[in-house]
Structure 1
Amino acid sequence: MTNGYKLRQLALVARDLASVEADLSAIFGLEVAYRDPAVAKWGLENIVVPVGNQFLEVVAPTRPGTTAGRYLDRRGGDGGYMVILQTEDPRGRDARVAGLGIRTVHQILHSDYDGLQLHPRDTGGSFLEIDWAPGFAQPDGSWHPAGENWRTARRTEVATGLLAAEIQTPDPGALAARWSAILGRPTDGQSIPLDLGTLRFAGDQDGRGEGLGGIDIAVADKAHVLREGERRGRLAGKDMLLIGGTRFNLIA
């Protein structure tokens, strides 16, 4: 049986949270659904923004000495931070992680949520988090990190979903094989198709080393995105924007 996974959330890290929030709102027409007070204990503030039935999160350090702040320093500024998948099989997840000797950074347990953050030195590529939530088969099933009322903040007039996460690395084939083993999903050496979305592995595109470098985003109003992206100085190439240090590839 193929292990079920959805690309449910992608997280960016930024120095200036308000600036990235303003870009996401103006360019993609997105609205903040939740600001999680619990991240303050890690020296962070955040926003969670629905994109269809998936989510973009942006975190920013609020004090010196945070993991996120060190990541900003190491990668030379804002950028992609975490790939967060929803699984339908948390027991299988736990067994594969233990069998591969992968350390966990943090486990988040609630009655409706079981989130497992894996150590990036053991996974390679980026922070990888694999979470269980009920209603896997439901397109708009619950998602604890987005709060209880995220559906009321969903805006799909401009952007409708997250199609792929592009993880850049010196050896894409090796990283694809590693994540394939972690997930129990096949790879062609360049990508891992999921039940919702795709993980894509590519060489270093910007000289900043390993990390979540790009996002394929589905857009219903490409003209609006390009117009606002140009107005805000975020155009980075044909059908590409650079927001929060991350490449947003526009898929119409």
Structure 2
Amino acid sequence: MLRLRQIAMVAPDLAPVEEVVGQMLAAEVCYRDPGVGKYGLHNALWALGGTFLEALAPLQENTTAGRYMARRGGATGYMVILDTDDLAPVRDRLAAQGTRIVEDLTVGDAALHATALHLHPRDTGGCLLSIDHHGPDGGMMGSYMWAGSAWQPYANASLAISGAMMTCDDPAATASRWSHILERPAVPHGAGWRVTLDNAALDFMPNNGPAGEGLAAIRVAGLTIPARSCGLDFLPETNQ
């Protein structure tokens, strides 16, 4: 099992993003994760079905997220977070490939826990990628450490993140790297390439702008009109 569970975006200030996203998605913030404080950040999280949208903003100078914004020219998509039911083969595959893990994080206890593997961006391209395992309940509406233990009542069940689009200097090469890491095939799709997960699709498109490679858009099943926030396009799901 390999699913898209969370999209993270980063902005200079959190409050304006919260207002826009809350109205756009008709959803309340379901959690604020104190764990991001160690990175010099604060956050807000929204539950869309069993998928999640996160907005981050720096609380101090010289954060990794702040430097990423500086390179991208402002607020932007930041990270794709996947989850799987078994990280052991993922670890073995990454080691065999020489794909570097920049953070190997395990938190929680028997009642709620997660392990996250943050991969080196130079080994992935496209954007930051994390592959996680959450427990003890692996269902889409079950355990999700980054949303705490009581996120379900806040979920907008009519929406779900169904895809992410990255702009790439070389879409074929980047899609091939992600395909190799995720052990899912990359196939031509429109002007770019696509890697399909169990619940979503990842698209790799040509980079035609000055910001360089990055997470440029997400698709949201149930969204009726396109929208934009935090440097990210929110697109209705068209099944194309």
Indicate the residue corresponding to 2:61 in structure 1.
Answer: 64
For residue 104 of structure 1, report the CA deviation from its aligned partner: 1.5
Q: Following superposition, which runs of at least 4 residues in structure 1 exceed 2 angstroms of deviation?
A: none
For residue 98 of structure 1, report the CA deviation from its aligned partner: 1.1
For residue 240 of structure 1, report the CA deviation from its aligned partner: 2.6
1:208 has 2:211 as partner? yes
**Equivalent residue in structure 2 for 1:91, among 70, 88, 92:** 88
Cα RMSD (Å): 1.4
**Equivalent residue in structure 2 for 1:193, among 182, 196, 212:** 196
Indicate the residue corresponding to 1:162 in structure 2.
Answer: 161
Indicate the residue corresponding to 2:233 in structure 1.
Answer: 247
Alignment of 1:1-252 (within 5 A): 4-110=1-107, 111=109, 112-134=113-135, 135-136=137-138, 138-156=139-157, 160-189=159-188, 190-219=193-222, 222=224, 239-251=225-237
Distance 1:79 1:205 in 2: 16
Distance 2:55 2:28 in 1: 13
Distance 1:85 1:67 in 2: 20
Aligned residues: 229
**Partner SS state of residue 133, structure 1:** strand
Distance 1:65 1:50 in 2: 29
CA 1:101–1:145 in structure 2 vs 1: closer, same or farther (change >3 Å)? same
Indicate the residue corresponding to 1:225 in structure 2.
Answer: none
Query: Structure 1: where are the runs of 5+ without partners?
Result: 223-238
Q: Look up the equivalent residue of 1:45 and give its one-letter code.
A: H
**Partner SS state of residue 149, structure 1:** coil
Distance 2:67 2:175 in 1: 26
Greater strand proportion: 2
**Partner SS state of residue 53, structure 2:** strand
Distance 1:208 1:34 in 2: 30
Q: Look up the equivalent residue of 2:23 and give its one-letter code.
A: A
Query: Structure 2: where are the runs of 5+ without partners?
Result: none
Distance 1:14 1:23 in 2: 12
Give TM-score, length-normalised by structure 2. 0.91
Contact 2:24 2:227 in 1 (8 A): no
For residue 77 of structure 1, report the CA deviation from its aligned partner: 0.3
For residue 205 of structure 1, report the CA deviation from its aligned partner: 4.7
Give TM-score, length-normalised by structure 1. 0.87
For residue 155 of structure 1, report the CA deviation from its aligned partner: 2.1
Q: Look up the equivalent residue of 2:67 and give its one-letter code.
A: R
Distance 2:170 2:122 in 1: 15
Q: Look up the equivalent residue of 1:175 and give its one-letter code.
A: T
Cα deviation 1:111-134 (Å, max 9, x = unaligned) = 421111001011111100000123
Distance 1:129 1:176 in 2: 16
Cα deviation 1:147-171 (Å, max 9, x = unaligned) = 1001011123xx5100101011011
**Partner SS state of residue 80, structure 2:** strand
For residue 207 of structure 1, report the CA deviation from its aligned partner: 2.9
% of aligned pairs identical?
40
Distance 2:146 2:36 in 1: 11
